[in-house]
Amino acid sequence: MIFKVLALVLALLGYYVSPYGPTIGIGGPIAQESQNKPGSATSGSFYRATVTRVADGDTITVRNRDGATHKIRMHAVDAPELNQAGGEQSKRWLTEQLMNKDVKIVVNNIDRYKRQVAKVVLPVENCEQRWCDGETDVNLKAIEAGHAWWYKEYARSQSSEDRLLYEAAEDKARTARKGLWQQTAPLAPWQWRTEQRNQR
């Protein structure tokens, strides 16, 4: 009985601590839209769009080619919250990288806030595939620049190649003391969110 109660507590804690919620990852619910529809939220689908807003270091708004807007939560990264040390710097960096730029959105899933959780890619010319040589994975670049953590909780929903790249990028940024790693003891955003809730 005690194990069932403990499992329930841990499940609820995961729901409230995660900015994604419980619907992300392998086996989670997926919006039932057409794979070929621009702005589709089907897992693995992709579309081109223009970035119209940067909310913080891991959340943006885009407008697709049909004029529809979508809120995007960058997959497998977690940037400092705006009220957290490094939060404003992370947002500023992402704004410089993406604001008003053409991007490719590669959807992983939908979170409990109805955002598309996705890889954000700076595309190359004349590429209409999911990934082309020479493109830039902005999620990875944010980790490399020291403006976001690799969100290991969602590593299972990444490819094995991306897991290795994201882990190596965080290790390298930490060693080089880039961005948030210049702090003496940077607090991971998921830990910061938990502390904020506990203080209420």
In Å, what is the CA distance from 61 to each residue of 40, 72, 107, 175?
Answer: 15, 6, 14, 32
The predicted-structure confidence for 49-97, as pLDDT tens digits, reads as follows 999 999 999 999 999 999 999 999 999 999 999 999 999 999 999 999 9
Question: Six-digit token pair at 125?
Answer: 């010319």
Mean per-residue pLDDT, 159-173: 97
The SS3 assignment for 177 reads coil
pLDDT per position as a tens digit, 6-28: 454 444 455 444 555 544 333 33
* pLDDT confidence tier of residue 199, bands split at 50, 70 and 90: confident
149 pairs with which residues across the strands?
78
DSSP assignment of 106-155, as one string?
A: EEEEE-TTSPEEEEEEEPPTT--SS--TT-EEHHHHHHHTTSSEE-GGGG
Q: Which of 32-46, 55-69, 142-156 has the lowest mean pLDDT?
A: 32-46
Q: Compute the distance between CA of residue 135 and CA of residue 125 in angstroms, rounded to an integer.
A: 9
Long-range CB contacts for residues 164-172, cutoff 8 Å, separation at least 24:
165/137, 165/140, 166/76, 166/77, 166/139, 166/140, 169/140, 169/143, 169/144, 170/143, 172/144
| Domains in the chain: ranges and CATH | 2-198 (2.40.50.90)
40-56 burial, b at 16+ Cβ within 10 Å, e below that, comes to: bbbbebbbbbbbeebeb
Mean pLDDT, to the nearest integer, of 121-137? Answer: 93
Q: Which of 125, 145, 144, 141 is nearest to 133 (CA)?
A: 125
Question: How are beta strands 116-122 and 69-74 bridged, if at all?
Answer: parallel
Q: Which residues contact 58 (CB under 8 A, 6 or more apart)?
A: 73, 74, 77, 78, 79, 90, 94, 142, 148
Which band of pLDDT confidence, cut at 50, 70 and 90, is reported for residue 32? very low
